[in-house]
Amino acid sequence: MIAPLRPVIVAANWKMHTTPADAGELARTIAARTREPDVIRVICPPFVCLAAVNAALAGEAVAIGAQNIHHELAGAYTGEVSAPMLAGLATWVIVGHSERRRHAGETDELVGRKLGRAVDGGLRPILCVGEHLHERDAGRATDVVARQLAGALDGHKPDALAAAGLVIAYEPVWAIGTGRNARGVDANAMADVIRITLAERGWEELAGTTPVLYGGSVTSANIGEFVGEPAIDGALVGGASLKPDEMAGIVARAAVTARARLSQIAAS
């Protein structure tokens, strides 16, 4: 696969942090500290902060994403948010995050339905996949990620996913807040698994052009190890995305990779 053809993306997942009173100022600060034209920046605040972040980022080249959507368009689903409700508030959305799979019991089939709602709703999806520690230790990491990916993509058409700008995030659950770190080579190998799985479905073009992000306790100190790998196209950042200094370092290092890829294209 030709990595330079894929964009470099840094997406911030604020999870259940910030309030409408402070989210706007944090978003403004991060946007000002991360102005790198060669990196696509996305901030995904809690639902209640979407409007505040939108207002704060007016005029900034920073996309705004939601952290989740419901698999139906409307209905008696108390506390849920559907794709149409996000119109004017978000242009990206995270689906299938490991915490949603774990805490909300989301299955591959349900994640696939959410992916469909995102595509139909004009939202750019970040589809998350990743294995648990016991699965990796049992040598099943490849099988788990391939199964999650195939299950979520079942029934979808590659042309529609490509048009929607599908992004896939590999997030090893065992490396999130556990003190056990993944290595760049681990992430690169799993990104290859993701692309092979896409190609085995007959989606060779999508396999080559879909950005794959790494998400697993990303910091400014370790980001270089991941974006330095040819199959990794950026990061889905959790806790560090709430810290402007960390985000500045992460985006700055991602920009180095982006410029290197653009230079390779120019030289070819």
Q: Which residues are catalytic?
A: 97, 171
Amino acid at 185: V
Cβ atoms of 206 and 250 closer than 8 Å = no
Output phi, psi for 62, to 5 deg.
-125, 125
Dist. CA 203–CA 234, nearest whole Å: 22
If you compute the radius of gyration of the chain from its CA atoms, what whole number of angstroms results? 17
Opening angle at CA 111, ends 108 and 117, nearest 5: 145
CB atoms within 10 A of CB 257: 24
Dist. CA 210–CA 203, nearest whole Å: 11
Amino acid at 58: A
